[in-house]
Amino acid sequence: MAAAGWSTRHMLHFHQLLFVCGAEKTNLAPGFIARTAMFSVRFNRKNKHTELKFRAVCELLRARDLKILMVEAGAGDDFGRLTARSLRQLKDENGLMLAVCTSDYAEMTASPYSSYAELVFAIDNHVDILPLRVEETYPPQPPWGENHPFDKHGDAKGFVSMAMKSSVVFLDCRDKPEEQIADEIEAKLRPWSWLKAPPHAPSFARVEAVEDE
């Protein structure tokens, strides 16, 4: 039976939209079909408050039957394995990377599983990126330079510029409570929110890799 107020024709068009958008790849129950998402965060002492805030947002979204991936910073030896697993799921399920844009987001570090590595993975694998603005400094300005131990040439800043160019619309999370942020992220993940989007609404960041000639 069609949902109240929906004709059989409307339901058919709705399911066709889900198929085209790739939502059929998710593992959620039909009544809760939505895109998978992964929080990408720069874990350090400076950003601890922001990290805790978005872990709370993550739990709110999970409570709404959304599939949200976020690796625990203190996962020890399992951190790399869990990060790789989450990135694989994000790619396979046509997911959305939620980049928590602190000023030092995507800084190159000693870890091969840093926010820098996550951003590079998203760009290389054509994963959609939704920047979450959390500070006045935007886009992020990851440190680099001659005295930087890992990034002498500004590679991290270059990848940030590719993913967060001026045409990409960010989600402004500054001075907003967790519940409101969760509401706005959910609207991006639920397919029926796409039905309400204006015809020329800006899309998420998707950077196409360019092959060397």
Answer whether residue 171 is part of any domain.
yes
**Do the strands 37-40 and 68-69 form a parallel or antiparallel pair, or are they unpaired?**
parallel
Judge if the upstream peptide bond of residue 177 is cis by omega within 30 degrees of 0.
no
Answer whether residue 11 is part of any domain.
no
Quote the domain boundaries for residue 139: 32-195
Q: Is 4 exposed, middle or buried (0-12, 13-18, 19+ CB in 10 A)?
A: exposed
Q: How many CB atoms sit inside 10 A of residue 212's CB? A: 3
Answer whether residue 109 is part of any domain.
yes
Structure tokens at 86: 């989450």
Structure tokens at 64: 């709404």
Structure tokens at 83: 């990060």
Give the up-direction half-sphere exposure of residue 208: CA atoms within 13 A in the CB hemisphere. 2
How far is the C-alpha of 128 from the C-alpha of 111, rounded, in Å? 23
For 106-118, write each residue's pLDDT tens digit: 999 999 999 999 9
CATH number, domain with residue 83:
3.40.50.10140
Answer whether residue 20 is part of any domain.
no
Answer whether residue 85 is part of any domain.
yes
Answer whether residue 80 is part of any domain.
yes
Answer whether residue 164 is part of any domain.
yes
For 78-107, write each residue's pLDDT tens digit: 888 999 999 999 999 999 999 999 999 999
pTM of the predicted model over 0.85 = no
For 117-169, write each residue's pLDDT tens digit: 999 999 999 999 999 999 999 999 999 999 999 999 999 999 999 999 999 99
- Angle at the Cα of 203 (from 94 to 34), degrees rounded to 5? 40
Q: Is 28 exposed, middle or buried (0-12, 13-18, 19+ CB in 10 A)?
A: middle
Answer whether residue 211 is part of any domain.
no
The tally of domains found in the chain comes to 1
Q: Is 191 exposed, middle or buried (0-12, 13-18, 19+ CB in 10 A)?
A: middle
